[in-house]
A and B are shown apart, each in its own frame.
Chain A
Amino acid sequence: MPDPAAAALQFFRDRFAIDPAVTSTLLSVALSRGGDFAELYFEHRTNSAITWEDQHVRSATRTVSQGLGVRVVRGEAIGYAYTESFDMEAMRRAAETAARISAGERTPPPIDATPFLVGTSHYDFDHPLVAEPAAAKVALLERADRAARSYDPSIARLDASIGDELKYILIARSDGKLIGDVQPLIRFNVSALSQRGESRQVARQGGGGRMGIEYFEQVTTPEQLAREAARQAVLQQDAAEAPAGTLPVVLAAGDSGVLLHEAVGHGLEADFNRKGTSNYTGRIGQPVASPLVTVVDDGTIAASRGSINVDDEGNPSGRNVLIENGILRGYLQDEISSRHFGVAPSGSGRRQSFKDYVMPRMTNTFMLPGEDTPEDIIRSVDRGIYAVSYSGGQVNISNGDFVFSVTEAYLIENGRITTPLKNVMLIGNGPDVLSKVTRVANDYRLSDGRWTCGKDGQSVPVGVGMPTVLVSGITVGGTKL
């Protein structure tokens, strides 16, 4: 496999005649009115999807999106413009527009573009799913449909989709750095309907990663994903109303990492801390969690949905320890924030597309395993909740208040997992919950690639992970008093 940066550079040169001479010219234009720093972000993205509905292919879609985003930074202010055309005149106009954040005039500095290499890629981009024949993808959808229907007679319908993306990015910076990446991404979604008389339950499941078709052999199968959705839909038919009030909660390994992502991760993004709008502002070196808690954001995990070789400012991704044994160690940094804090960028500058400005974002965020076993943790709870899978969550960054919708949860009674529960919400405060982590198990797991993170209207793919953890008390939003 070639170096991803070399592959991206070659792609833009061969297809659009974008070479170091072009990027240097445009960067000079971007800095022609002053500004400390400028960057060009070229993107070419192909998405395709096949949608399966109730035993047939409902539609096939394909989208090609391409463009250039130009950013000029002056202090902590940014000027941003984009164009969907790689025509030199259009690109020059975008650079001129972004330059307006500065009001001065000066002779544009010459830019000496230097191509960088990434080294080893964290994912295989040479065999993307986008290159596979449609029939192979349809066969995967058929397999999912059959598996869901044979799981239980109440499964009345299976909807599914298979989606793939192949994204080439090239970043040219005014410090001369020229680097790129090729990012494949696949996603398989299933939604199963269980119907018993008038009682309907829909459950969703999904997975994927930065892989090709081998995902369906190496990680999971369409049958497994479909059966899992069917199982959850059937389970919900018999689930009981959840209790309301504050209870001990055991967070299961894997998907529970989304709680960490929302409740803590966002508050550790450096932009909020630079502006003083996060509850973690000014707390580096201080205890912010139980000593059992170590939280890491790692963009280098092989083939994971949240991984990137370089971030969208051209900095290599890395493994960043955010909280170590309960002590806050650092924030997720992009260029602007790292300059503000006088630290190195952490490879966390991400954006949804060339139309969007960069912000510090998470990649794969997880808690490191501890010493306990999951069985011991569950046995230690007299009455509580066992939370397994989630449909989503939301956090108020400035104070850490969060909510989560739990799609699979059980009551724990006398140390045993008993009744399945429906409509479980967990509501609380991030720092408060992390201080109440009383046991951490040794069964760390990264979730399958199904999570997308939203911030300021921009979505990026992320990974989450977690060992089984006991939180001594979280407010459970049920209906039963």
Chain B
Amino acid sequence: MTSRATEGISALELARRAVQLARRAGAHQCDAIVVTGSESTVTVRLGEIEKLIEAGSIGLGLRVIQHGRTAICATSDLAPAALERFAEETVELAGISAPDEFAGLPDPSLYGRPGDAAPLGLYDERIEALTADEKISLARACEAAALAADPRITNTDGATLSTRVGEVALANSLGFEGSYPATSISLAAEAIADDAEGKKRPGYWFSAERSLSRLGDPEEVGRIAARRAVDQLGARKPATTRVPVVFEPMMAVSLLAHLAACATGDALYRGATFLAGREGQPLASPLVTIVDDPLLPGRFGTRPFDGEGVATRRNILVESGTFRGFLFDCYTARRLGRASTGSAVRGLESAPAPSSSNLVLQPGALAPAALLRDTPRGLYVTALMGAGFNPATGDYSRGAAGFWIEDGQLAYPVTEVNISGNLADMLAGIDAVADDLAWFGAAAAPTIRIREMTVSGT
């Protein structure tokens, strides 16, 4: 299926081999992750092909734990002799680290069952079967629709279709072995409209899925990009004030990501989260329930086992406003006297660390139009910029653009504003949750409204 990049050896066999070599070199405990992939990217701009990229890649990450001393090495040179030397070097490197009683592989009773991957819908053979010409036509249709959607669209930054067909394999020295294939496809477009004084208004939209059948209609992606550009024509900077702020679903998703980054065992033991000491306490409005679910079929955060081989499971972060708890991998769980929540995420070059999988803010019963009608005055946010969030304090301050709301309607576009508050207050201040749940990558949220935030403008 995807083993062609590895010249006849499966990803799992390579991971197993690395574990054996490390054991032979004296490793006490070790695990190896192998990620293979074939990637392609096609960009079409103004009807012409701008980029065609195609390649296969493979990488191996080895973690060695020598009586609590950890080393992590990564390589793409997998020739037998090179791999042997690599394993020896990793074992030797562990000597630099200090012994850490909490370092170690998971208890085998926690292992996931790797045979269970198929129902999770991570792999679509139709993506692997797409030809270059088919990919070009998808991108071309998307860009053409963006250009044709409105005469005020004068330019585009192109439409890009990317696919990836890959496999993840993990093996450890305590007997865990697992692998699963995964595919992804994404289509993105940026349309540009010209505003007064030479200002350009870009509009961006995308669809990213694990299967071709779920990919958004290419023309629809292009038309939405065009609409988002045209909608911003004539945008102005409003006066500084305090008003209700409505987040469209894509923007509400960004709040989930901030919260999830604070809800990890990693942030907790570092003392770097405002959520410390708040487990079991009211955090958000009772309208808010947030779930992290790696078992939802066909999503970007879906996985049958985590980055350490632990079985994945659904974790509730916030239940009707109450903060239920943190996400843990084995290290942070041991360190804090907790249990792993199956949330280890691992790159080739880095230690496992707890992170969210698929984050969902459960939808409410309100239609988004009704939510808007019920907002006499406020800001409707369609774009956020900058990294103004402090996980240690929850302080939040980001650049924003969108629309000014007057009399329950979108009155005019606004830009160059800043919205600020504290995430704890913002979550507590959510006074409306709509029913329009939408997915963006590994997170989903509906339209929400926060009772009041500071909006900085003129």
Contact = CB atoms under 8 A, between A and B. Distances in A.
A115 interface: no
Contacts of B454: 244, 477-481
Interface in B97-147: 97-98, 100, 132
A277 B157 contact: yes
Given A60-B97, A425-B388, A475 B456 contact: yes
A335 to B, nearest CB: 15
Contacts of A156: 271
B320 interface: no
A296 to B, nearest CB: 25
Q: Which of A50, A59, A84 has the most CB of B within 10 A?
A: A59
Contact of A201 (B93, B195, B385, B392): B392
B198 interface: yes
Contacts of B100: 56, 58
A157 B395 contact: no
Interface class of chain A by DSSP? strand
Interface in B342-399: 348-351, 385-388, 390-393, 395-399
B52 A79 contact: yes
Interface in A412-464: 422-425, 427-429
Contact of A401 (B86, B240, B397, B401): B401
A10 interface: no
Contact of B52 (A101, A134, A157, A198): A101
A224 interface: no
A325 interface: no
Interface in B382-434: 385-388, 390-393, 395-399, 401, 415-421
B52 A403 contact: no
Range class of the A interface residue count: 35 or more
Nearest to B396: A423
Contacts, number: 241
Contacts of A424: 397
A81 interface: yes
A245 B52 CA distance: 46
A277 B390 CA distance: 33
Contacts of B277: 198
A402 B54 CA distance: 33
A424 B398 CA distance: 10
Interface string B424-458: 00000000000000000000000000000011111
A198 B274 CA distance: 9
Contact of B417 (A65, A101, A475): A475
B76 A65 contact: yes
Interface residues of B, number: 79
A338 interface: no
B53 A425 contact: no
Interface string B80-108: 00000010011001101110100000000
B73 A62 contact: yes
B189 interface: no
Contact of A57 (B76, B96, B240): B96
A429 B200 CA distance: 12
A200 B392 contact: yes
Given A202-B392, A423-B390, A425-B397, A77 B51 contact: yes
B327 interface: no
Contact of B416 (A50, A401, A405): A401
Interface in B52-81: 52-58, 70-77
Given A82-B57, A97-B54, 10 more contacts: A63-B73, A63-B349, A65-B74, A76-B50, A244-B454, A277-B157, A355-B55, A425-B388, A475-B457, A477-B399
Interface of B: 45, 48-58, 70-77, 86, 89-90, 93-94, 96-98, 100, 132, 155, 157, 192, 195, 198-202, 237, 240-242, 270-272, 274, 276-277, 348-351, 385-388, 390-393, 395-399, 401, 415-421, 454-458
23 contacts: A63-B74, A65-B75, A66-B77, A77-B49, A77-B50, A80-B53, A101-B49, A157-B271, A198-B277, A200-B274, A200-B392, A202-B392, A355-B55, A392-B387, A399-B199, A401-B385, A402-B385, A423-B420, A429-B416, A475-B418, A476-B418, A477-B417, A478-B397
Interface of A: 47, 50, 53, 56-67, 76-84, 94, 97, 100-101, 134, 138, 156-157, 159, 193, 195, 198, 200-202, 244-246, 275-279, 355, 357, 391-394, 396, 398-399, 401-405, 422-425, 427-429, 475-481
